[in-house]
Amino acid sequence: MPARFEDPLNLIIAGVGGQGNITASQVVAQAALIEGFQATIGETYGVSQRGGSVMSHVRISRSEEVGPLIPRGHAHLLVGFEPLETLQVALEYGRPGIRILCNPRPLYPIGVLAGDSAYPPAGKILKILAKHASPLRIVPATDLARQAGEIRSMNLVMMGALAASGFLPFEKAAYEQALQILFEGPTREVNVRAFEAGFLALSRPRRNRPRD
Interface residues toward another protein, by CB under 8 A: 16-18, 25-26, 29-30, 33, 38-48, 50-53, 65-74, 84-85, 87-88, 90-92, 94-96, 98, 105, 107-115, 117-120, 124, 128, 131-132, 142, 151-152, 154
Which is nearest to 122 in space by CA: 92, 156, 84? Answer: 84
Closest separation in Å from C-beta 118 to another protein: 7
Residue 143 vs 203, nearer CB to another protein: 143
What sign does the dihedral 147-148-152-157 (CA atoms) show? Answer: negative
Query: C-beta of 205: minimal distance to another protein in Å?
Result: 29
Toward another protein, which CB reaches closer, 19 or 165?
19
- As a whole number of angstroms, the distance between CA 6 and CA 76 comes to 8
What is the distance between the alpha carbons of residues 64 and 148, in angstroms, rounded to a whole number? 38
Asked whether the beta carbons of 136 and 129 are under 8 A apart, the reply is yes
Minimum CB separation of residue 120 from another protein in Å reads 4
Tell me if residue 137 falls in helix, strand or coil.
strand
89 or 201, CB closer to another protein? Answer: 89
Shortest distance, position 58 Cβ to another protein, whole Å: 9
- DSSP 8-class letter at 193: H
- The sign of the CA dihedral 154, 156, 160, 162 is positive
**Type of residue numbered 181:** I
Compare residues 29 and 197 and give the one whose CB is closer to another protein. Answer: 29
Output the smallest distance, CB 125 to another protein, in A.
9
Between residues 176 and 203, which has the closer beta carbon with respect to another protein? 176
